[in-house]
Structure 1
Amino acid sequence: MKKILLLAMFGIFSLTAPAQSMQFLRTSQSSVQSNTDQDVFTPIGKYIQSGDYEKLSAWFADNLELNIMGAINNCTRNQARLIIKNFFTNYTPKKFTIIHKSGKAPMKYAVGSLTAGGEKFRVILYVKTTDGVNSIQQLKVERE
């Protein structure tokens, strides 16, 4: 009798374990999905506002077009990082707000307003998604 009771309990526990595993799997998948659905411009905007050129440059494509107040450069990620560092040194960011977003994968863009160094700038970002990875293809900064 004890053996039958023991086998019955073992059977019940072994049937509930896969259900719990499936629930965990569904929860994990939904959290990954919600992370991929996040607005790509939220962290980028945060790094622009804080003047964090290092974290911002991590979003740069290997080669990108950078237009800072009319000075157009097709440059590597490292060159762009130095140019943005110089811009943030000369114009310390105070506030950045996204005022318009559009597009869908693989190409999205946003227009933002940047207050930096006592001046106002318009910032235009083009972000491309390739194999699930977002990268800034073009960044333009112009005085308003």
Structure 2
Amino acid sequence: MKNSKNIFFTLFVLCTLCGFMSGANSREAEIAEIIRGSIKTGNAHTLAGHFERHLELVIDAEQVDFRHVGEGQAELILKNFFKKYPPKDFKYGFQGMASKVRYCTATYQVANGSNFQVYILMRVTDKDYRINTLHFKKE
């Protein structure tokens, strides 16, 4: 009888942990899709909704190189960037995760045919993902 209680308890704990982990993965996928959609449509406001209060923003084609910029100013800079370089497509390349940090590379295709390599670094805060670093490098 004692063994069956231990087995039941162990299964309960494993199922609960799996539920939490799958919830985190679905939230991660949801955030990744929101970011992809925001950049693909040039929606700086929605994208800025996922910024940390201060972030690193680099856009080499615009000589933008802020190591510590407020989320509101970053939104305005990106709004102008998307006007000057209207989006055609955005595709993730490599994605990875390490100790409460999620990072990815991507390609931002501009309507005029040029491309930017994009680097995004997100930190996990309060069970959410916040963009800490965003780089656009023209190819």
- Structure-2-length-normalised TM-score: 0.76
Deviation of 1:131 after TM superposition, in Å, equals 1.8
Contact 1:105 1:128 in 2 (8 A): no
Deviations 1:63-111 (A, max 9, x none): 0000011521120000000000010010001100001101234101000
1:127 matches 2:125: no
Identity fraction in percent = 26
Q: Aligned equivalents of 2:131 and 2:99: distance in 1?
A: 13
Deviations 1:29-74 (A, max 9, x none): x5x8644312232221111001111100000100000001152112
Alpha-carbon distance in structure 2 between the residues aligned to 1:108 and 1:33:
15
TM-score with structure 1 length normalisation?
0.73
What RMSD over aligned residues (CA atoms) do the two structures have, in Å?
1.9
- Determine the C-alpha separation between the residues in 2 that align with 1:136 and 1:46: 15
Is the partner of 1:45 in helix, strand or coil? helix
State the structure with more CA Rg: 1
Q: Which runs of 4+ in 1 moved over 3 A?
A: 32-35
Q: Distance in 2 between matches of 1:93 and 1:123?
A: 13
2:15 paired with 1:36: no
2:98 is matched by which residue type in structure 1? K
The alignment status of 1:106 with 2:100, answered yes or no, reads yes
Matched positions, count:
116
Which runs of 5 or more residues in structure 2 are unaligned? 1-14
